[in-house]
Amino acid sequence: MTSSPLVRFENIGKNYGKIVSLKNITLEIGANEIVGLIGDNGAGKSTLIKVLTGVETPTSGNLYIHGRKINTAGYNVRRAHELRLETVYQDSSLGEKQPLWRNFFVGRPITNWLGFIDVKAEKKIAEHIMRTAIGFRSAGISVDTPVSHLSGGERQGVAIGRAMHFDSDLIILDEPTVALALKEVQKVLDFIRSIKAGGRSCIYIEHNIHHIHEVCDRLIILDRGELALDTPTSAMTYPELSEFLLSLHTPTSGAN
């Protein structure tokens, strides 16, 4: 990772009025790297993601994507898509009554000049991605299956597969395993591994540090708007990680 990183935050700060949400954050996301983002509610995880995806404008600092400085004033969600950053939200990325192939291409369908959709081509590509990149093995699922028939884990798979197909360099997963059964969680973790195998990067936001420790290359911990830890996963065992997190929670233990 000596070449320019995919994303670089440089002294990024964000205030909402008097409330400081992010303080001087400097960190990098490298190419083909799975980064786990950990932190309590209000630690600044979502703000950091919102700054990255153009939903919020930072109060201070610089943002670099693909090595180029982003003019944060003119940066928005559309630009983020153009720069190939894709966010997969927990429950608001798929149309439930619509078949899988439509969900795959919605928003950027393959059409002729009149705007009519090439259904055959879309189904074929959707089929291919589902079988290979995402590895849907379940026999009951075809590209015509409505999303409402899929399990929670499979839905995350569709959303991740979609992001990968559209050549996203960085896929941001916002707590994808919330409310999933254990078996489903394993599926999602497999999808995350397929992101790595596909040569892309991922920011994985998660409450369950066990999952994070299992699949991530690097761990980033935010605490009250500040960067508390940025370390390769290999440098920290799971018990060490959970101990570190507990130490953050001890109320101002070592203060003066």
Partner 1 sequence: MDERAETSTPPIAAARPRHSLGEFVGRLAKIEGAAIALVLILLLVLFMFTAPRAFTGYRIYMSFLATVPPPMIIALGLTLVATAGEMDLSFPSIVAFSSYVFSALYQNYELTWLAFAAALLTGSVLGFANGLIVTQLGIPSLIATLATLFLWGGLVTVVSNGVSVAIPEIVNETIHTIFVGRIGVFPVQILWAFGMVVLIWFILHRHRFGEAILFIGDNPRVARVVGIATNLEKVKLFTLMGVLSAFAGVLLTMETNTYFSSQGMGYLLIVIASVFIGGTSIFGGSGMVIGTMIGALIVAIIEAGLVASGIRGFWTQFFIGVVFIVSVTMNTAIADPDKVPLLKRLRSRARN
Q: Is 121 a binder of partner 1 (CB under 8 A)?
A: no
- Total interface residues for partner 1 by CB under 8 A: 23
Q: Does 95 bind partner 1 (CB under 8 A)?
A: yes
**Closer residue to partner 1, CB minimum distance, 95 or 232:** 95
Which stretch in 12-20, 48-56, 114-122, 218-226 sits in contact with partner 1 by CB under 8 A? 114-122
What CA–CA distance (Å, rounded) separates 9 from 151? Answer: 36
CB within 8 A of 251, min separation 6: which ones? none
SS3 188: helix
Q: Is 109 in the site for partner 1 (CB under 8 A)?
A: yes
Tell me: does residue 224 bind partner 1 (CB under 8 A): no
Gap between the terminal Cα atoms of the chain: 39
List, in order, residues 6 or more apart from 256 with CB less than 8 Å away: none
Q: Is 199 in the site for partner 1 (CB under 8 A)?
A: no
Taking the least distance from each CB to partner 1, the nearer of 17 and 107 is 107
Distances in Å between the alpha carbon of 248 and those of 43, 226, 240, 252? 11, 12, 13, 8
- Span near partner 1 by CB under 8 A; candidates 19-27, 45-53, 85-93, 184-192: 85-93
Residue 177 CB neighbour total at 10 angstroms: 24
**Which x/- pattern, by CB under 8 A, does the window 126-165 give for partner 1?**
------------------x---------------------
- DSSP single-letter state for residue 37: E
CB of 191 to partner 1, least distance (A): 19
Of positions 22, 29, 94, 195, contacts partner 1 by CB under 8 A: 94
Q: Rule CB under 8 A: is residue 93 a binding residue for partner 1?
A: yes
Report in angstroms how near the CB of residue 116 gets to partner 1 at its nearest: 5
Q: Which amino acid is at 118?
A: D
Q: Determine phi and psi for 242, rounding to 5 degrees.
A: -70, -30
- Binding of residue 89 to partner 1 (CB under 8 A): yes
Q: Which residues contact 93 (CB under 8 A, 6 or more apart)?
A: 159, 162
Given phi > 0 = left and psi -120 to 50 = alpha, else beta, which region is 214?
A: alpha
Interface residue list for partner 1 (CB under 8 A) = 78, 81, 89, 92-99, 102, 106-109, 111, 114-117, 119, 144
